[in-house]
Structure 1
Amino acid sequence: MRRLFITCLYCKKELFGRTDKKFCDPQCKSAYQYKKSKELPERFYNKVDNQLKLNRKILKKYNKGGMVTVRASMLTQEGFDPNFFTHYWKNTKGDVYLFAYEYGFFRKKERNLDKYVLIKWQNYMGF
């Protein structure tokens, strides 16, 4: 009877032991599953969650003073997408601030430039 050579699905080394063995060690199994999951199309939830986290990171980076105005192009160059937000707050003037977690933004035109007013969530805003 001839023995067939079975190789690890990840590193292609020859396997010994059980005939139904697929990986040479737990690291190869983990690396194979990680690689396989990266080949699958990204799930909708992951896309939304990743964009919200990126938006928060960018807003936090530029809002060092509690209330800051920055050019919209600065944020969008870093990957900011204003279509992704967690909640909103409307001030007494009727301006609607969109939030990515605790960091908010309000789009406005100033001297023909698109800008964002950045704020941080405060207790008086409720919840």
Structure 2
Amino acid sequence: MRFYTNCLYCKSELTGRTDKKFCDVQCKSAFQYQQAKVQPERFYNKVDNQLKLNRKILKEYNKGGKVTLRSELLLEKGFNPNYFTHYWKNQKGEVYLFVYEFGFLKIVENHKNKYVLILWQDYMEHSKI
């Protein structure tokens, strides 16, 4: 008795083993890809993808170690400040959020939202948070 009579992807008639679901590996792969596309993104993947995007954007704009720029520049590229890996508090009490080695601090300067971008430094590891 055969469980499936037709390939789950291309619907062609199956021959061979009784528990066979696909006619070949290409149909199996295409079916799995199709299924993955319709399933909602897993939480872990969503967070990981956003962290990778945030890091890429911060790296792109912070070539000199410390830079200040308008927040719109980052946000237009897909930057989301709610996703970060850790934080560091400086002596002034300002809390920099970090995406791996790239940090950012939201400030308001001349009534405009901006971000100060910095790079992680060795001395930051020993300071108290």
With the length of structure 2 as denominator, give the TM-score of the two structures. 0.87
- What is the letter of the counterpart of residue 107 of structure 1? K
Q: How far apart, CA to CA, are the structure 2 residues paired with 1:108 and 1:49?
A: 26
Q: Which residue number in structure 2 is paired with residue 74 of structure 1?
A: 73
Which stretch shows the higher mean deviation, 5-14 or 98-107? Answer: 5-14
TM-aligned CA deviation for residue 41 of structure 1: 1.4
- Alignment deviations for residues 10-35 of structure 1 (CA, whole Å, 9 cap, x no partner): 12233222233211112221221122
- Alignment deviations for residues 26-80 of structure 1 (CA, whole Å, 9 cap, x no partner): 2221221122122111121111111111111110111111101111001011111
Q: Which residue number in structure 2 is paired with residue 115 of structure 1?
A: 114
Stretches of structure 1 that go unaligned for 5 or more consecutive residues are none
TM-aligned CA deviation for residue 113 of structure 1: 0.8
Q: Which residue number in structure 2 is paired with residue 89 of structure 1?
A: 88
Which stretch shows the higher mean deviation, 94-103 or 42-51? Answer: 42-51
Q: How far apart, CA to CA, are the structure 2 residues paired with 1:46 and 1:17?
A: 37
TM superposition outliers: structure 1 runs of 4+ over 6 Å: none
Q: How far apart, CA to CA, are the structure 2 residues paired with 1:18 and 1:85?
A: 50
How many residues are matched? Answer: 123
Q: CA RMSD in A?
A: 1.6
Stretches of structure 2 that go unaligned for 5 or more consecutive residues are none
Which stretch shows the higher mean deviation, 105-114 or 6-15? Answer: 6-15
TM-aligned CA deviation for residue 83 of structure 1: 0.8
Sequence identity, in percent?
A: 68
Matched, 1:105 2:104: yes
* Mapping 1:29-40, distance limit 5 Å: 29-40=28-39
- What is the letter of the counterpart of residue 86 of structure 2? H
